[in-house]
Amino acid sequence: MELSGAEILVESLKREGVEFLFGYPGGAVLHIYDALYKQNDIRHILVRHEQGATHAADGYARATGKPGVVLVTSGPGATNAVTGIATAHLDSIPLVVLTGQVPRAFIGSDAFQEVDAVGITRPCVKHNFLANSVEAIAPIIKKAFYVASSGRPGPVVVDIPKDITAPNVKIPFEYPDHIEMRSYNPVLKGHPGQIRKAVDLLVGAERPMIYSGGGVVLSEASEALTEITRTLGYPITNTLMGLGAYPGTDPQFIGMLGMHGTYEANMAMHECDVLFAVGARFDDRVTGDVEKFCPRAKIIHVDVDPASISKNVKVHVPIVGDVKSVLGDILDVLRQSNQRPDSGALNSWWEQIRRWQADDCLSYDRTSDKIKPQHVIESLWKVTGGDAYVTSDVGQHQMWAAQFYKFDKPRRWINSGGLGTMGFGLPAAMGVQLAFPDAQVACVTGEASILMCIQELSTCLQYDTPIKVINLNNRYMGMVRQWQEFQYDGRYSHSYVDAIPDFVKLTESFGHVGMLIEKPQDVEPALKEAFAMKDRLVFMDFITDQTENVYPMIEAGKGHHEMRLAPARELA
Amino acid sequence: MRHIISILVENESGALSRIAGLFSARGYNIESLTVAPTDDTSLSRMTIVTTGTEEIIEQITKQLNKLVDVVRLVELTESLHIEREMMLTKVTALGGMRDEIKRLTDIFRGRIIDVSDTSYVIELTGDSDKLDAFIKAVGGKSIIEVVRSGVTGIARGEKALKV
């Protein structure tokens, strides 16, 4: 079978099982678009901005575990995609991003729509390739999918000069069955000696704490994590990226940790004597001041990326390996050994944790005549039966969603944790809804974030994605306003947008349903009404209390034990 | 602490910028960097001299290993090794100084490889300290131009950085 470069590319994507291609055409990719036109296996989703394409592919990848695939043209197509690539990079999400490039003979000549896409994306990809011949396309695509989805996943960019996709050059097509790269062999199996050490330390703990992150989700290790946690009976906290990896409604789950984590999770981190860190990377939003981090703990750290280990915090028992594989091995050792935790010590540790929990750090004013954002999220959880896919943008609404939507399953909570990309939520929700057309998908956002990728409402109409947009509209960039209140004596410098659109009309102009909700008692009925519209995108504009802050909070330079609690909740 | 890291990388376009970019993006120091193809033409060997605490050097080696183009690396300064750097020095050579510089060059086991009425070019190889000492001995006033290759190195004994 002799195929052109463009046909080889499309065939290769089919061999990788690609269902959706999120893209936007342009000069440098026209041959590829022509090849796409002649087939029906891959569904192309035409976005309205390339940032939307990368976020949609990212949302698809986070919800399904499969790599998201993007096709954009050269120059501005590639640069517009960069924010989405960096977003995926910081959260280790597998993406394959195909960027068109000017013909090889023009590279370096400042040709029309030419940028050095490989150079621009180098710092924010796991790896990137410049395909330099028709023959190179198939093996590079094979490598791109392999690198993107193995080890610690991440985005891979493939830059494709236009001339190698031209229809007049055809070569025999053969797609490689497997690929070997001498320079890339991620270690997946944990070292047995280290695993034994970890088990000894774990069962010997008096005040143990399990701290797990996005790596558990990426590695599909939720079941193993849940089994270990239940076997041991230890408290567990999840990072923002790890929510849902352990059931959020389980009594052993003591909430998210970190900057806006629960009081009990952060205090337990501070007081624990053994910390079991699984697929988490000791991010600065999690640790607070590293000098004050877990001062009494021996730390076990499981991570597939050796560079994550002892990067921010020195650990005592490092285990490099795939989280699922290592947790499986730990379970085996635990089952075979007759060592069990000291139940007396564990009981008094739980008593201490229950005392911290009794402080009810997430409580808020339920009698207010203004809509409290926390109340919206709680109602969302109730109305969706705790079983929706929830995407978010970045800011206060993101933290409230993380705190108040109790995720019981992995891959349900989809947010830009590492890069903190405003504009992520709506296109990500689109990717999720396309992957799961019958699922309930909510995008929790704010009036500032949503405007950063609002154009994708148009894509949502074209492809029938009945997302429910939960807009917590407080007429401020809420998190910026909160920091300005705490740290800049209330000088709200440019955190207020003076001209906010009428979101109901705006949504209607895109062909969707808009709703305005202004009273607390209307929150739940409105959500029910919206979710009953199963085939419509509903944009719900909740006018919320402008001054509500996210509590608790660890401010800059503080440790886990130095949280700032809600004013009414300050400890006696 | 000064460390020398030797790296085997795929001999592909962009490999050098990946490595240089990693150092600048993460704020690591590069004192010198040399790169050239090896006997295996699919590989290049790079030698980087860097400074940092043990923790930083550990991160540097881990981050380098994480780059998909890096095949293998070794920190030469962890064990016995030989390091060499080559230097070309152009000096003013007039009157009595011509003999004096010739003698100094001999003491340092260098070679004069270009001669004009008023100048010499001296080739000298050694570790970085030796090259520094030569520059000091010749004296700043005589020196017209100095070119150093950057450090390259190899482990002593049978140990080898190979694929």
Chain A interface includes B13 (CB < 8 A): yes
In this prediction, residue A339 has a pLDDT band, given cuts at 50, 70 and 90, of confident
Dump pLDDT digits (tens) for A514-547: 999 999 999 999 999 999 999 999 999 999 999 9
Token pair recorded at residue A393: 């943008």
Q: Is A479 a catalytic residue?
A: yes
Could you give phi then psi for residue A123, rounded to 5 degrees? -75, -10
Please state, as a whole number, how many other Cβ atoms lie within 10 Å of the Cβ of residue B113: 10
Token code pair at residue A319: 């285990």
Residue A364 DSSP SS3: coil
Q: Could you give the C-alpha distances from A227 to A222, A246, A301, B79, in angstroms and in order?
A: 8, 10, 18, 45
Q: Which of A112, A314, A339, A546 is catalytic?
A: A112
| Model pLDDT, residue A372 | 97
Find the range with the poorest average confidence among A128-132, A237-241, B95-99.
B95-99
Is A518 considered catalytic here?
Answer: no
User: Which residues have a Cβ under 8 Å from the Cβ of A283 and sit 6 or more positions away?
Assistant: A239, A258, A312, A418
Task: Determine the residue type at B162.
Answer: K
pLDDT band (50, 70, 90) for residue A565:
very high
How many residues are present in chain B?
163
Read off the tokens for A503: 């979101």
**Exposure letters B70-92 (e unless 16+ CB within 10 A, then b):** bbebbbbbeeebebbbbbbbbbe
Mean predicted confidence (pLDDT) in A436-454? 98
pLDDT band, residue A571 (cuts 50/70/90): very low
d(C-alpha A421, C-alpha A220), whole Å? 25
Would the CB atoms of B68 and A119 count as touching at under 8 Å? Answer: no
Mean residue pLDDT of chain A comes to: 96
Determine whether the interchain pair B68/A305 forms a contact, defined as Cβ–Cβ distance below 8 Å. no
Contact A535, A464 (CB under 8 A): yes
Q: What is the pLDDT of residues A356-401, one digit of tens each?
A: 999 999 999 999 999 999 999 999 999 999 999 999 999 999 999 9
Asked if A171 and A39 count as a contact pair (C-beta separation under 8 A), the reply is no
Please tell me the predicted confidence (pLDDT) of residue A572: 37
Residues paired with residue A470 on neighbouring β-strands, in sequence order: A444, A540
ipTM of predicted assembly, 2 dp: 0.92
Handedness of CA A318, A320, A326, A332 (dihedral sign): negative
Tokens at residue A163, please? 């001339």
pLDDT surpassing 50 at residue B41: yes
Contact between B69 and B9 (Cβ < 8 Å): yes
Chain segment A287-317, per-residue pLDDT in tens: 999 999 999 999 999 999 999 999 999 999 9
Alpha helices by DSSP H, listed for A153-281, are: 192-203, 214-218, 222-232, 263-271
Question: In the β-sheet with B43-51, what is the strand arrangement from edge to edge?
Answer: B32-37, B43-51, B2-10, B70-75
- A183 and B70 within 8 Å at the Cβ level: the answer is yes
Q: Is A113 a catalytic residue?
A: yes
- Partner A contacted by B32 (CB < 8 A): no
Which pLDDT does position A569 carry in this prediction?
52
8 Å CB contact between A294 and A312: no
Residue A174 is classified by DSSP as: -
- Does A123 sit within 8 Å of B21, measured CB to CB? yes
∠ Cα A170 A173 A175 (to 5°): 150
Q: Give pLDDT, residue A194.
A: 98
- Residues in chain A within 8 Å Cβ distance of B68: 126-127, 147, 181, 183-184
The interaxial angle of helices A396-404 and A373-383, nearest 10 deg, is 40
Helix axes A5-15, A134-149, angle to 10 degrees: 30
Q: Interhelix angle for A396-404 vs A478-487, to 10°?
A: 100
pTM: 0.96
* Residues 6+ away with beta carbon under 8 Å from A413: A243, A244, A390, A401, A402, A405, A407
Least Cα separation, residue A355 to chain B (angstroms): 38
- Please state, in angstroms and rounded to a whole number, the distance separating the CA atoms of residues A558 and A258: 11
State residue A570's pLDDT score. 47
CA atoms within 13 A on the CB side of A433: 27
Single-letter amino acid code for the residue at B15: A
Secondary structure of B52-68 in HEC code, one letter for each residue: CCHHHHHHHHHHHHHCC
Between A5 and A570, name the one with better pLDDT.
Answer: A5
Q: How far apart are CA A446 and CA A474, in angstroms?
A: 8
| Euclidean distance between CA atoms A407 and A112, whole angstroms | 48
Cα A154 from Cα A170, distance rounded (Å): 32
Is B54 touching A (CB cutoff 8 A)? Answer: no
Q: Compute the distance between CA of residue A141 and CA of residue A135 in angstroms, rounded to an integer.
A: 11
What is the structure's pLDDT at A504?
98
E strand segments, A86-166 = 95-101, 127-130, 155-161
Reply yes or no on whether A162 is catalytic: yes
| Alpha-carbon distance B63 to nearest alpha carbon in chain A (angstroms) | 6
A118, A119, A307: residue with CB nearest B62: A307
User: Mean pLDDT throughout A212-216?
Assistant: 98
B71 touches chain A (CB under 8 A): yes
CB contact under 8 A, A307 and B59: yes
Name beta bridge partners: B49.
B4, B32
Distance CA A276, CA B38 (A): 44
C-alpha span between A376 and A390 (Å, rounded): 13
Please check whether residue A147 touches B, CB under 8 A: yes
Q: What angle do CA A480, A53, A87 make, to 5 degrees?
A: 45
What the block records as the tokens of A15 is 């061999």
- Is the pLDDT reported for residue A454 higher than 90? yes
Percentage of chain A lying above the pLDDT 90 cut: 97
- Per-residue pLDDT of A27-53, as tens digits, reads 999 999 999 999 999 999 999 999 999
Residue B114, Cβ neighbours under 10 Å: how many? 11
Mean pLDDT of B137-146: 93
Residue A106: its pLDDT value, please? 98
A130 interaction partners in chain B (CB closer than 8 Å)? 13-14
Active-site residue (options: A126, A142, A162, A468) = A162
Interface size between A and B, measured as CB pairs under 8 A: 39
Burial class (CB in 10 A: 0-12, 13-18, 19+), A157: buried
